[in-house]
Chains A and B, each alone.
Chain A
């Protein structure tokens, strides 16, 4: 859709190749009338321009690197703009790009396993070495970026490239050198979804894990504006199970939620310790001041966390802020608000089932609450498709300092 830059100052940075051999690899049915055109770039520009609204290939932009040339040919053959819009609707642009890259590499690498021509194999390896060297250089500058989206996405794509060229998933993931086993497992699940044609779900998992909920969601079946026919939305888009928020009656005052005080220059009650000072301070009065209920604590009340009494122990130990716990039965879930604003329920309600199910919605709820946020969980999310994405999402939020995770299998409740 974007035409090549036409500034005469930049003209020497690219040129059209009118006798391109490469462009003969774009199927006629996927090219604009008159055939796709090949623009050779001196820099690293690599992209395919699809004509709007036909989605046909208009320009193939490539640098000198053979790997990029193969990559763009694959896009021109196998990327369908309208399908991409459906699959990746509402997702972050880089998530969509990386997922699409992984899709074409795992499923459409032009050569059979092990039959990649030597020159292309060498060029691909060289490209991957350079890319990972750049990532490493960035990580030396800022080690905290290890495991973040750019780092993970680069390694995920490299694993997809290797798998496309014939490596086993195990080899490819090992060579990609993810930050930890969690990320490696997550990458495996994402690539497995992509390989089975569920790239929309894979992209959604990536989005959830690194960027939070997608902005909009394509319904699983949508009405086609032109024909009135129904067409498929994002592939197998799994809706998150519903989560009911139960506000327990907050009948008990929390004894630990004491009223605080502050020193003031006027008031009706003296602050006696101040009177004992050799030089009398200005603030010798004290005034009552309510201690604000700060922060939110969310407790994972699933079976993997142990007996519910353990959960209760945690709930009762946390005097301030909003305290909630959640559980699910595999199809739906509940989140009970046990305490808020210095008051709590007489007794926590026993969950009817001890599954996880709504880890995602519960985490979303936690993130919508005022901070600081604490999540008491063993991270054993399960029951639904996006469980692994939610584990990754929690790890990313924790890394970003937006939530503190307390593993109560190892940690003790406060004040114990």
Chain B
């Protein structure tokens, strides 16, 4: 069976359609949305998916991500962090400013971005991801800032180079003006997703769900010549 879906043009419409089609979280678990600030990346994700949310900064301790022991009524009790809650509840973990990966959290992030995801807590408890778990990382620079193991783990990359529908609504009649200044004083986004092992893994997951090669191209973010190259290479 081949799924034929009309391809929405803007990044936010695409993201919404992937969620509605059950592609994310479902066949695919890891999305990276990068692009200009104030385009509505984090807000859209949070409102659409009711996510567990964390904002990275370079000095962030691991406890902020997975949780830690807390003193409750004179006893030390383990308190789950957002990542563990997302794993246990099968919800989406939203990581804002994902480019600022704290050194302490880097390897734990590998585990969260694995498929299937799972981590072992300092208590010795092993937490495996429940169905519905996913990770959405949002950030401003392009994905080349990531170390390769993280860079190659995302299934979907979306380039936020336009205002999301929600942001446009918030801007009202000034949306057109805001759209014109969206990239002011910000580095141009020229990155194109390269061929990678994970891209083909993601492609295979989508293929197993009956998506056409053309649709797979669109989800992987390959357009024009990259799309025809993909179609040729996989033929």
Contact = CB atoms under 8 A, between A and B. Distances in A.
A143 interface: no
B235 A111 contact: yes
Given A117-B213, A117-B214, A22 B235 contact: no
B229 A69 contact: yes
B232 interface: yes
Contact of B228 (A23, A24, A119): A119
A21 interface: yes
A136 B234 CA distance: 36
B195 A24 contact: yes
A110 interface: yes
Interface residues of B, number: 18
Contacts of B233: 21-25, 73
B231 A20 contact: no
Interface string B161-203: 0000000000000000000000000000000101100001000
B18 interface: no
A299 B198 CA distance: 72
A119 B227 CA distance: 9
Contact of A25 (B192, B227, B235): B235
B195 A69 contact: no
Contacts of B192: 19
A69 B228 contact: yes
A82 B235 CA distance: 25
Contact of A21 (B213, B214, B230, B235): B230
A19 B152 CA distance: 13
A288 to B, nearest CB: 77
B24 interface: no
A117 B231 contact: yes
B228 A19 contact: no
Contacts of A22: 229, 232-233
A20 B226 CA distance: 9
A21 B199 CA distance: 10
A371 interface: no
Interface of B: 192, 194-195, 200, 213-214, 222, 225-235
Interface of A: 18-25, 64, 66, 69-70, 73, 110-111, 117-120, 123
28 contacts: A18-B194, A19-B192, A20-B195, A20-B229, A21-B195, A21-B226, A21-B230, A23-B195, A23-B233, A24-B200, A25-B232, A25-B234, A25-B235, A69-B225, A69-B229, A69-B232, A70-B232, A70-B235, A73-B232, A110-B232, A117-B214, A117-B231, A118-B214, A119-B227, A119-B228, A119-B231, A120-B228, A120-B231
